Amino acid sequence: MSKPKKGRERIDNSTFTYMVIVAVAIDFFIILIGGLFFIAGLIPILGLAMSFMGYILATLLTSLGYMLFLTWFHILGYSMSDWDGEQAALMGASYLAELTPFVGMFPWFSISVIRMATLVRRKDRGYTKRNAHTAPHGTQRPTRDSNLTTLPRESLAD
């Protein structure tokens, strides 16, 4: 698994913002193409052909968008070989949902890209399900039931 350099995240705030903007723009165009060609599909003579052409264009844009983001993640040092089950299921399920007629009108693409980028950022910061209750650098997070502030482990030993 490719790790970022110490003290550095693969996806910083500006990159995350650009990813969200591009994902929302791609989703907007997918929804726009789907909606326009659905309306054009109501035309009596050319309706079926227009509807089919809209589905093909939306599918093409969806596929290109996923390839763009898979490449983008790979350039940032997070390839598909680094994925765990949740990330593979997320991208696969959202891709299939985008290809499903009418279900694809929901912004699955944006949601999956935002979730993937968030998971990569969490991995870079050292958060996993096992140590979610502890903060990085050996400090303890307070729980709902306690009124502790965050203390270094050395002071807890005294």
The answer to the question of residue 75 being in a domain is: yes
Q: How many CB atoms lie within 10 A of CB 142?
A: 12
Query: Domain count of the chain?
Result: 2
The answer to the question of residue 6 being in a domain is: no
- In tens, the pLDDT along 66-108 reads 999 989 988 988 877 777 777 888 888 888 988 887 787 888 8
- In tens, the pLDDT along 105-144 reads 888 889 999 998 888 888 887 765 555 555 555 555 555 5
- One domain, residues 35 and 51: yes
- In tens, the pLDDT along 11-58 reads 888 889 999 999 999 999 988 888 888 788 787 877 888 888 888 898
- One domain, residues 101 and 41: yes
Q: Which of 77, 73, 54, 56 is nearest to 112 (CA)?
A: 73
- One domain, residues 63 and 105: yes
Instruction: Name the residue range of residue 147's domain.
Output: 133-158
The structure's pTM equals 0.69
Residue type at 28? F
The answer to the question of residue 3 being in a domain is: no
Residues written for the chain: 158
Q: What is d(CA 120, CA 71) in angstroms, rounded to the nearest whole number?
A: 15
Q: What is d(CA 61, CA 95) in angstroms, rounded to the nearest whole number?
A: 11
- One domain, residues 70 and 138: no
